[in-house]
Chains A and B, each alone.
Chain A
Amino acid sequence: MPGPTPNVDGDASPDDSDDGGVRIDMISGARMEGLTGMEKIRLILDGVRDGNIVILEEGLSPDEESKLIEVTMTEISPDDFTGIEIETYPKAETNDQSFLDKLMGRKSAQKLTVIGPANRIETLHKDENLISTLVSRK
């Protein structure tokens, strides 16, 4: 089971992005599965605050998204961290929920999600099939 370590890739140096490149962490659903909500948020925010782009294979639940906004707000500080840019595909009108899921109000969280530092990532275009973003090296 994956641990709540903030460094997604244990082999990578934290200085990887200092050469002007942009580091992208693509985190699988399996990697997130064993984490609590706060551990997921910590994993995301630690990566983003290091200047990385985080791509989640399966996204967050609405409750986790709500907490992500709340925690992000508490960490914003002038001239250091201005928050996050986050994009997912718009919610599709799918019928992939089971009857029990609908009855219990459970919603599928399986949606690819891109999260980055607000001062480095800009969404150029987004529709239900495509997210196009511009990432600056800073």
Chain B
Amino acid sequence: MGLLTNLKDSISRVTDGLFAADEPKRIGIYGPPNAGKTTLANRIARDWTGDAVGPESHIPHETRRARRKENVEIERNGRKVTIDIVDTPGVTTKVDYKEFLDHDMEKDDAVRRSREATEGVAEAMHWLREDVDGVIYVLDSSTDPFTQVNTMLIGIIESQDLPALILANKTDLPGSDVQQIANAFPQHETIPLSALEGDNMDEVYTKIAEYFG
């Protein structure tokens, strides 16, 4: 029974892809907190629409709701791809309001922020299972990529058969090590960039058109 259901799902996925080829693809930007997801979302949105997606901050969990920027048209080598960018909260398995107190926050604000953060992460997981057509997975290339959250998230994305582009962000930082990310996820292509400085965005757009077009 499970075999038939899986086969039906596989066929359905292929036919959905064929008939929905002209509709914008919803591309979720995922990754751990503070990887630079919103900076990247803003960079893409500003480059192609002139608008931003949301505020950026060095404080973890600045993005506490999934935010969507619709109909972003990216043209690359004569090829046009239309995507909806979904900027998601950083995924984690734990949120402690006390960590926000280190950022000069009052307890009430810290508790509210942590509550919103937990709701945002739950929402992001739901989006991943139900509502995205592809994933841009953003990692801070100056930190260790061998974390459980990264391992689980990449496993979840692979189990959904979603096209996934791995971006090694923050190459402008002194401790950046792109190769470490490539070693952590050898089954995927890793593209280096600095979303903050706009470095290597040409290649990022080429790959977005290639993966999600």
Task: Show the binding face of A for B, using Cβ within 8 Å.
Answer: 61-63, 65-67, 69-74, 76, 78, 82-88, 90-91, 93, 104-107, 118-119, 123, 126
Contacts and interface: CB of A to CB of B under 8 A. Distances in A.
B156 A91 contact: no
B180 to A, nearest CB: 13
Contacts of A106: 6
B155 A107 contact: yes
Interface of B: 3, 6-7, 10, 91-97, 111, 114-115, 118-119, 121-122, 125-126, 128-129, 146, 148, 151-152, 155-156, 158-161, 186-187
Contacts of B10: 104-105
Contacts of B121: 69-70, 73
Does more than half of chain B's interface fall in helix, strand or loop, or is it mixed?
Answer: helix
B156 A84 contact: no
B92 A83 contact: yes
A122 to B, nearest CB: 11
Nearest to B13: A105
B118 A104 contact: no
Contacts of A107: 155, 158-159
| 8 interchain residue pairs of minimum CB distance | A83-B94, A118-B94, A62-B159, A73-B122, A73-B118, A82-B96, A70-B125, A62-B156
B96 to A, nearest CB: 4
B125 A66 contact: yes
Contacts of A73: 95, 118-119, 121-122, 125
